[in-house]
Structure 1
């Protein structure tokens, strides 16, 4: 493929952006509001910086053209210094008598992530101007890197890269970190509540919903890729986990929102993260409800009246009752949790009555 003109590349980029926009609009009209495609589109459309990101991509293509290095861009390479590092690989490959081992060592030092290195080598090999000796060395290097890389991780890293770059820009996050989270999602057998808690710990409370949007978008891109990372069966299981995580995200919004909307609950604990941890803990260890509540309300409970304890337990009971049984590791755990909360509320109510009698 030859180098395209600056104007032609700009027109192609504009056409690509227009086609993507029209495709997203069509999908949004046809898909159900709760479908993965619809939610991903809503996120993309709600992000004002996406157009700026596309402009940045076009500028990067112009930069490549001016340097005369590549016919295609390095958009899927998640490295901020891709071009000079790619030049360095070519320089090493041109060295007289350089061994395959030395070329591999230096290439991996420049691009430690196998997905990045494979993408760079593929782009370099598209160049017509390469010396035949250099071409053979780069082809042998590419073959070795592909053979030694873990296939699923390699393909997943390539297929999710554009999503990682777009969401990383919009969320002010490292694209490489997002890519790592997607790879981990593919391999993880942890409970969905643990996966969700890990995302909160890694990315913070404010971004927890958007990170799930990224995972969803990356999974859909991987499924549609020419060389997907997983089998159809594996993707089916992953889509099931994704559905469970989206259900958990909705429960998070409702559970935490319900409690923080109540002045009494806010007085006991105004921290959003505290109530989220309570919910995640109850989903996995409902038998520890007493200890989990104590961790959530802490010292404030010691200074409160029994009437307030009783009211708080009623609030928590209603919030837990609204949770979907599917979110618990065992669906039978929810009735047991609700019964335990009723017992605790009954004890608190008896103390409340005694408190009233003493005060009357």
Structure 2
């Protein structure tokens, strides 16, 4: 336990981890094992429900009719997230007036002009579509623009380009609510497509990038964006199999979000007069790190709580660790890679509790002995 209790450091601000009162006087912690089991089962049930919803959405994927899909070519301008899109389009149209002949050199020239003004692939494709639409209305040839569009979509970025177009309106709507640049949310969805299977890392990266207060809204956005993408005229994935793992990850992320709320409720003391020891950010970081490094829980505790426990007497350390143990006990095995990982975490916490209780007993005996000697 020296690794946990002997690390100096400052206290953290935020909701309190341990109040001035002992844990056995805290009615919120007087719940027995049945209440903990109920919380674990609640998160597990939410994961099952998410899996059922995902299965239903996948079953519908192949049955969407074109009239049911949400992307419309007339929305192209709205889906361009570049704040200067209108002016840049006019400038681009003037720059490409002489580019009408279809040739490899002409296509390269068109793409160069487009990418100079619209470095994002989704905006670039939408710009080409809009220019093609204008030329068709004016009765001008569009072959060079058609070939430029085909060339742009032949690269490795085709999926990201489609995804960016499909979720642009969702990104714009959520960005207004969250006071963010919609381009950040568009890129966030693309990143989710690439790293969705590492959902615990993804969740923590959202917190690091957007702050803990926005984490649930970010999850809501990504879930809505994925559904919007699937129901779009040209989904970023060509078949249901490509979306299956993404829907599974959304289910895990929602379960993780529910679990972190329960975890914080068990760990942090809401009392207004409590000593402020650990922030919500640190508490959630400890939870996520524990899920990712279950066999290194001793180090996780030292990194997360070492500076807190080092300034507390053994009695208070025991109280803190009791809260930590009860908080981790609410996390279901479905959020670990195996049930053995959950057992490893809880076993380590029990060992820590035993060591702290032993140290607390030693300190009490020394204190009693010291008082006796003073009295003599």
Q: TM-score range by the shorter chain?
A: 0.7 to 0.9
1:15-54 map, 5 Å: none
Gaps of 5+ in 2: 1-48, 54-72, 369-376
Determine if contact 1:268/1:300 at 8 Å carries over to the other structure. no
Gaps of 5+ in 1: 1-33, 39-69
CA distance in 2, matches of 1:143, 1:185: 26
Counterpart for residue 144 of structure 1: 151
1:162-201 map, 5 Å: 162-188=169-195, 190-201=197-208
The structure-2 alpha-carbon separation of the partners of 1:221 and 1:199, relative to structure 1 and needing over 3 Å to count, comes to same
Counterpart for residue 334 of structure 2: 326
Determine helix, strand or coil for the equivalent of 2:176: helix
Are residue 358 (structure 1) and residue 366 (structure 2) matched? yes
User: Comparing 140-149 with 99-108, which one deviates more in the overlay?
Assistant: 140-149
CA distance in 2, matches of 1:84, 1:189: 36
Find 2:290's aligned residue among 279, 282, 289.
282
Find 1:269's aligned residue among 274, 277, 283.
277
Are residue 312 (structure 1) and residue 320 (structure 2) matched? yes
CA distance in 2, matches of 1:263, 1:294: 25
Deviations 1:246-274 (A, max 9, x none): 1111111111232222669x747331111
The structure-2 alpha-carbon separation of the partners of 1:189 and 1:171, relative to structure 1 and needing over 3 Å to count, comes to closer
Counterpart for residue 161 of structure 2: 154
Are residue 292 (structure 1) and residue 300 (structure 2) matched? yes
The structure-2 alpha-carbon separation of the partners of 1:263 and 1:354, relative to structure 1 and needing over 3 Å to count, comes to farther
Counterpart for residue 232 of structure 1: 240
Determine if contact 1:165/1:175 at 8 Å carries over to the other structure. yes
Please say which structure displays the higher CA radius of gyration: 2
Displacement after TM superposition at 1:73 (Å): 6.0
TM-score of the aligned structures, taking structure 1 as reference length: 0.75
Find 1:206's aligned residue among 213, 223, 231.
213
How many residues of Structure 1 are paired with residues of Structure 2 in the alignment?
294
Determine if contact 1:255/1:319 at 8 Å carries over to the other structure. yes
Determine helix, strand or coil for the equivalent of 1:95: coil
Are residue 81 (structure 1) and residue 72 (structure 2) matched? no
The structure-2 alpha-carbon separation of the partners of 1:283 and 1:268, relative to structure 1 and needing over 3 Å to count, comes to farther
CA distance in 1, matches of 2:201, 2:257: 13
Determine if contact 2:115/2:124 at 8 Å carries over to the other structure. yes
Are residue 91 (structure 1) and residue 99 (structure 2) matched? no
Counterpart for residue 5 of structure 1: none
Find 1:105's aligned residue among 102, 107, 112.
112
User: Comparing 99-108 with 203-212, which one deviates more in the overlay?
Assistant: 99-108
Determine if contact 1:164/1:175 at 8 Å carries over to the other structure. yes
CA distance in 1, matches of 2:74, 2:200: 45
Find 2:356's aligned residue among 333, 341, 348.
348
Determine helix, strand or coil for the equivalent of 1:228: coil
Determine if contact 1:306/1:351 at 8 Å carries over to the other structure. yes
Deviations 1:25-54 (A, max 9, x none): xxxxxxxxx769x9xxxxxxxxxxxxxxxx
CA distance in 2, matches of 1:340, 1:220: 40
Deviations 1:46-88 (A, max 9, x none): xxxxxxxxxxxxxxxxxxxxxxxx9766111111011111111
Determine if contact 2:174/2:221 at 8 Å carries over to the other structure. yes
The structure-2 alpha-carbon separation of the partners of 1:71 and 1:159, relative to structure 1 and needing over 3 Å to count, comes to closer
Specify which structure has the bigger relative contact order, considering alpha-carbon pairs within 8 angstroms and separated by 6 or more residues.
2
Bigger proportion of residues as helix: 1
Determine if contact 2:207/2:215 at 8 Å carries over to the other structure. yes
Determine if contact 1:114/1:154 at 8 Å carries over to the other structure. yes
Deviations 1:120-171 (A, max 9, x none): 22233223543514x3333332232233353211211111111111111111
Determine helix, strand or coil for the equivalent of 2:78: coil
